[in-house]
Copies of this chain bind each other. A is one copy, B any other.
Amino acid sequence: MKTMFRYNWLVREEWYRWCEEVPEEELLRIRTGGVGGILHTLFHIIDVEWSWIRSLQGKSDFQENVENYSSLEKIRKLDAEFRTEVENFVNSWDISMENRPFYDPQPDGRVDVDAWGEVMRHVIAHQIHHIGQLSVWAREIGKKPVSANVIGKGLIQPLSSEQ
């Protein structure tokens, strides 16, 4: 669990650096698929991650509008603001939380019940899915996307070897 959050944060940081080399108009351009643009996608990833972590803790959700986050700098600042709380929650994760029920009232009156472990995996997969979309748009503007590799980042230490 913690490994994949760390993976996502590393990849996100690499995308921020990638964005530094791209004209802002390309980062803001409306594109086909996903939530419709590069910075908008990064905002959406941050927003969704934080919102779910807040919801699991029974805290109020984020109501900010993407229009207020129309630069890389603002996106990074928002991410940094949210990160501490998300990181604390992720680091406090233990196996006993896996099956805790999360009650999610729906617009039609039903109440969905999701296991906390499912919600956490949803957050992880959510970023990876949207980063896949960024990788297509990167090629559309003629730039190599950030690698999505999990291996090679030193996320899990292998048992000692002669290598």
Q: Quick check: which of A22-30, A70-78, A133-141 contacts chain B, the rest being far away?
A: A133-141
* Chain B neighbourhood of A150, CB < 8 A: 118, 121-122, 125-126
* Chain B neighbourhood of A34, CB < 8 A: 132, 135-136, 139
Distance A98 CA – B6 CA, assembled complex (angstroms): 16
A57 is an interface residue with CB less than 8 A from chain B? no
A148 touches B163 (CB 8 A): no
Stoichiometry, copies per complex: 2
Q: Quick check: which of A59-67, A84-92, A107-115 contacts chain B, the rest being far away?
A: A107-115
B33 touches A140 (CB 8 A): yes
A112-163, CB < 8 A from B: 112-119, 121-122, 125-126, 128-133, 135-140, 145, 148-152, 155-159, 161, 163
Q: Which of B103, B128, B135, B140 contacts A125 (CB 8 A)?
A: B128
Number of contact residues on A: which range applies? 35 or more
Kindly provide the distance from the CB of A139 to the nearest chain B CB, expressed in whole angstroms.
Answer: 4
A4 is an interface residue with CB less than 8 A from chain B? yes
Closest 5 CB pairs of A and B: A132-B132, A33-B136, A122-B150, A101-B158, A115-B156
